[in-house]
Amino acid sequence: MSVARVSIQTGDFDLSHELATLRAGDKRVGAVCSFIGTVRDRNDGSTVASMELEHYPGMTEKAIEAMIDEAHKRFDILGARVIHRIGLLQPLDQIMMVAVVSAHRGQSFEACEFLMDYLKTQAPFWKKEQTPEGARWVDARVADDAALARWGISAPNA
Span 38-91, pLDDT tens digits: 999 887 777 888 999 999 899 999 999 999 999 999 999 999 999 999 999 999
User: Phi and psi of 24, rounded to 5°?
Assistant: 40, 45
Return d(Cα 27, Cα 23) in angstroms, integer.
8
Identify the band that residue 136 occupies on the pLDDT scale cut at 50, 70 and 90.
Answer: confident
Looking at residue 158, what is its pLDDT? 44
Amino acid at 21: T
Q: In this structure, what DSSP letter does residue 96 have? A: E
With a CB cutoff of 8 Å and minimum separation 6, the contacts of 116 are: 35, 98
Distance of CA 14 to the CA centre of its chain: 15
Looking at residue 28, what is its pLDDT? 96
Considering the entire predicted model, what is its pTM? 0.87
Please tell me the CATH superfamily of domain 6-134, with its number. Molybdopterin biosynthesis MoaE subunit (3.90.1170.40)
CB 85 within 8 A of CB 95: yes
Q: For the chain, which residues make up each domain, given as ranges?
A: 6-134
Looking at residue 37, what is its pLDDT? 94
Amino acid at 85: R
